[in-house]
């Protein structure tokens, strides 16, 4: 299992952030006497191309590489044992064949459990890393908006904690 789905799993966050930005800008009236400055930020691009995102992805790959390799080795071992049973089943006594089939079934259940746990752990850590990158990006966006005295409205939607509309003047 490759970890390059890092960006794909973040598309939902990007869509919600973009929708929140558009919805947050709607209340701004055209009758406002002040100049309105709006900055557009591609969170998807940040999650794909930024240094923190790339470092997070590398960190995840390193963190899960050993487990992924172990699971792959177990899957290969399972295939070997299954193939051997298929080859030898016709010449093997019935009791031995049933014993090996039970062992194979147990190995398969264990392998499926380990794969499921791996996916769950990987998804949880990926979500944590994405949340950290998005939080850092939002902090930088806020700092830039404050430094440039931008008038903008952001409604940030996050899968971790919703936040209300904020205005920076």
Q: What are the extents of the domains in the chain?
A: 8-168
The predicted structure's pLDDT at residue 4: 47
Q: Is-contact 144 39, C-beta < 8 A?
A: yes
The predicted structure's pLDDT at residue 59: 95
Q: Is-contact 159 12, C-beta < 8 A?
A: yes
Q: Is-contact 8 123, C-beta < 8 A?
A: no
The predicted structure's pLDDT at residue 169: 36
Q: What does the block give as tokens for 116?
A: 């499921």
In residues, how long is the chain?
A: 169
Average pLDDT estimate for 46-68: 94
Average pLDDT estimate for 6-10: 51
Q: How far apart are CA 20 and CA 38, in angstroms?
A: 14
Please give the model's pTM, rounded to 2 decimal places: 0.62
Residue 156 pLDDT class (50, 70, 90 cuts): very low
Residue 166 pLDDT class (50, 70, 90 cuts): very low
Beta bridge mates, 168: 152
pLDDT of 137 over the 80 cut? yes
Q: How far apart are CA 5 and CA 57, in angstroms?
A: 10
Q: Is-contact 130 60, C-beta < 8 A?
A: no
The predicted structure's pLDDT at residue 155: 37
How many Cα atoms sit within 13 Å of 149 on the Cβ side? 2
pLDDT of 36 over the 50 cut? yes
Q: How far apart are CA 112 and CA 100, in angstroms?
A: 18
CA 25 vs CA 13, 101, 135, 168: distances in Å: 18, 63, 21, 12
Residue 8 pLDDT class (50, 70, 90 cuts): low
The predicted structure's pLDDT at residue 44: 87
**Mean pLDDT for all residues in the chain:** 78
Q: How far apart are CA 45 and CA 47, in angstroms?
A: 5
The predicted structure's pLDDT at residue 146: 81
Residues 6+ apart with CB under 8 A from 1: 68, 118, 119, 122
Residue 99 pLDDT class (50, 70, 90 cuts): very high
Q: What does the block give as tokens for 54?
A: 């790339």
pLDDT of 158 over the 80 cut? no
């Amino acid at each position: 299992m490759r970890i390059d789905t890092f960006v794909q799993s973040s598309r939902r966050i990007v869509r919600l952030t973009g929708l929140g930005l558009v919805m947050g800008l709607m209340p701004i009236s055209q009758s406002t006497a002040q100049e309105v400055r709006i900055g557009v930020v591609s969170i998807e691009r940040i999650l794909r191309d930024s240094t923190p995102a790339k470092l997070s992805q590398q960190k995840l790959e390193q963190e899960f590489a050993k487990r992924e390799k172990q699971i792959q080795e177990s899957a290969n071992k399972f295939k070997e044992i299954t193939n051997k049973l298929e080859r030898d089943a016709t010449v093997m006594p019935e009791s031995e064949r049933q014993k090996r089939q039970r062992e194979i079934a147990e190995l398969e259940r264990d392998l499926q459990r380990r794969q499921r746990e791996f996916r769950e752990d990987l998804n949880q850590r990926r979500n944590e890393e994405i949340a950290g990158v998005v939080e850092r990006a939002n902090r930088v966006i806020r700092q830039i908006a404050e430094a440039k005295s931008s008038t903008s409205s952001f409604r940030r939607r996050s899968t971790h904690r919703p936040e209300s509309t904020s205005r920076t003047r």
